[in-house]
Structure 1
Amino acid sequence: MRAHTLMMLTGVVALTGAVALSSGQAAAPKAVTPQGLKPVSAFTAIADPTARSQALFVEAGKVIQHPRCMNCHPADRTPTQGMAMKPHNPPMKAGEAGHGVPGLPCLSCHHAKNVPAMGDNIRSVPGDPKWALAPIEMAWQGRSLGQICAQIKDPARNGGKTLAELHHHMAEDHLVGWGWNPGAGREPAPGDQKRFGELIKAWIDTGAACPA
């Protein structure tokens, strides 16, 4: 009798636990939120400052090398689009100022905010008040993360930006922030701009070391 009662109680406990898990009540929050971008605190256990700096940049690289960002950082001044980074349709060139060519500026389609588009595949037309390709100094496509790192911290190759200016751009710039608000039908960059900015600041504070 006692054994039968114990088996019944065990079954009830197991069933209760399963119900709680299925309803999400017992699920613990993930340490690497939001959306997979680790916080700066995840790297404090790395004692060597150079190794920690490199690891921080690798984490920030999840954003830097994400197609949502890389599409606007082409080396040939021709934007790409989508997660597959296919050539922009219609064909486009940056032009002298990064805003398109005469007769077909970027603002022909891209306005101050994302615009919903209806069709078989419901998407949207990306938009931002500063919509443009990144300057040639920030051409990243085709380069390794280590090469990108060396480029963006070198004033001779980054348009004369200091590390403080670089951090401000990445942490505060509205167009950079579009990467986390890309409109319907697009995968956003990992994490959010606040956490990305914190990673860049911590990378700078630990010596701005670049991964191999």
Structure 2
Amino acid sequence: MIMRFLLVFVLLGSPAFAAGHGDLKPVSEFAGIEDEAARSVAIFEEMLKVIEHPRCLNCHPAGDSPLQGDDMHPHMPPVVRGVADFGAPGMYCTTCHSSENVEFVTGDGSIPGHNPWQLAPVEMAWVGKTGAEICAQLKDPERNGDRDLAEIHEHMAEDGLVGWGWDPGAGRTPAPGTQAAFGELTQSWIDTGAVCPQD
């Protein structure tokens, strides 16, 4: 029964994401910005094309439940993050999400999957925040999983769950660019001082 509800709601709620999030510019595109701080901000703003994409925001919600679909509607069936960001007892994320994407037999979509599959902790919520707020949060060990900047780069460039955003299965728009390009932007942002936007 749970799986039937999940299939119906994913199929009904996924219009194509079209909010100006196309391909990522390569790091070389920013070489002409002579002021290093301004270059760092410009690079971070390019990173926001990924960070603010539904593939990332859906798993970084401000509330107690994940979002889903390109339109970022509430997860159906209703679920909660639970004490470990892995769902409530009896309704863990893995109740429906396996270690890989599973296509519907109709070919109209898929159930997303990866191991692990879970929400980002609530202190890492991005939904409803400005780019400046997200940037400050990424640099704050108390709100980024106790990571330094090198570990932030590793997470963005190599983490498999982050990488799922570029291979999200049928029925979902992938994050722009590639994980490798996103990792290069992240490293360049760090190398130029990891400067945050002001607004």
The yes-or-no answer on 1:205 pairing with 2:191 is yes
Q: Hey, what does 2:73 align to over in structure 1?
A: 86
Corresponding residue for 1:96? 83
Letter in 2 for 1:68: R
Q: Give the counterpart letter for 2:73 in structure 1.
A: K
Deviation at 1:104, TM superposition (A): 0.5
1:125 aligns with 2:111: yes
CA RMSD, Structure 1 to Structure 2 (Å): 1.0
Q: How does 1:185-196 map to 2 (within 5 A)?
A: 185-196=171-182
- Give me the whole-angstrom Cα distance separating, in 1, the residues matched to 2:63 and 2:170: 28
Aligned to 1:42: 29
Measured after TM superposition, the shift of residue 157 of structure 1 is 2.2
Whichever residue aligns with residue 46 of structure 1, its letter is I
- Count residues in correspondence: 177
| C-alpha displacement of 1:160 | 1.5
Among 63, 77, 81, the alignment partner of 1:76 is: 63
Q: Which runs of 5+ in 2 are unaligned?
A: 1-21
Structure 1 unaligned runs (5+)?
A: 1-34
2:46 is matched with which residue: 59, 62, 81? 59
Asked if 1:172 corresponds to 2:121, the answer is no
What is the deviation of 1:156? 2.5
- In structure 2, how many angstroms separate the alpha carbons of the residues matched to 1:105 and 1:186? 22
Structure 1 residue ranges, 4+ long, deviating more than 6 angstroms after superposition: none
Aligned partners of 2:93, 2:143: CA distance in 1, in Å?
Answer: 25
Q: State the shift of 1:92 in Å.
A: 0.9
Larger RCO (CA within 8 A; separation ≥ 6): 2
Counterpart secondary structure, 1:179 = helix
Structure 2 CA distance, aligned partners of 1:173 and 1:112?
Answer: 14
1:110-168, Cα deviation, whole Å (9 max, x unpaired): 0000001134x710000001110011231111101111001111113222110011110
What secondary structure, in the 3-state scheme, does the structure 1 residue paired with 2:83 have? Answer: coil
Pairing 1:158–2:130 present: no
Q: TM-score, normalised by structure 1?
A: 0.81
